[in-house]
Amino acid sequence: MSKIVQRKREFFFGRCEIHNENPLSLSLIDFQRDFIINTTSALAVAREATKGFEQIPESASKTFIHAGNILNTTTMPPFLSLGLGKSAAAYFIQHAAVAYSDRGFKFYYADERNPDGSNASRGISGEAHAKFYLQLSETKSQGSWHQTFVKDIGYKQFS
């Protein structure tokens, strides 16, 4: 692998180890690092958000949105540890959406896709995220915890 390709990969995926042939060869150190980044930190932020939600006026939006991706619903061989982290984050978001619904807190795992349902990957749109996240925050009641959306379309459910 050329140094340029290696640097580009590290820029986009951190020091993500690629394990296509033997995914379970993933080191526990790499797994723990990715899990802390993708799940533990998100759980800590969600926990702090609930504390904040308790203190803001009833009229304020109490919405937590986790920037997800397709890895909680599909496998991509190079990204075992990242998929494990996103799947765990999706689980706690789903759990929180149910557990805190009686308090008016909303929790979402938001995932931008292409119109055909494939991963938006490097084609994600910051503007589409902003518009969709604003819509989620302005909605009064909890919608589906798993929010898949498409640029210029909005929410779109994929099977």
Active site residues: 86
- For residue 132, how many other CB atoms are within 10 A of its CB? 22
Q: Which of 62, 131, 51 is nearest to 97 (CA)?
A: 62
Count helices and strands in the chain by DSSP H and E runs = 5, 4
Token pair 């340029």 is found at: 4
Sheet holding 106-113, edge to edge: 63-67, 106-113, 146-150, 154-155
- For residue 67, how many other CB atoms are within 10 A of its CB? 15
Q: Which tokens belong to 63?
A: 């919405």
Token pair 């140094």 is found at: 3
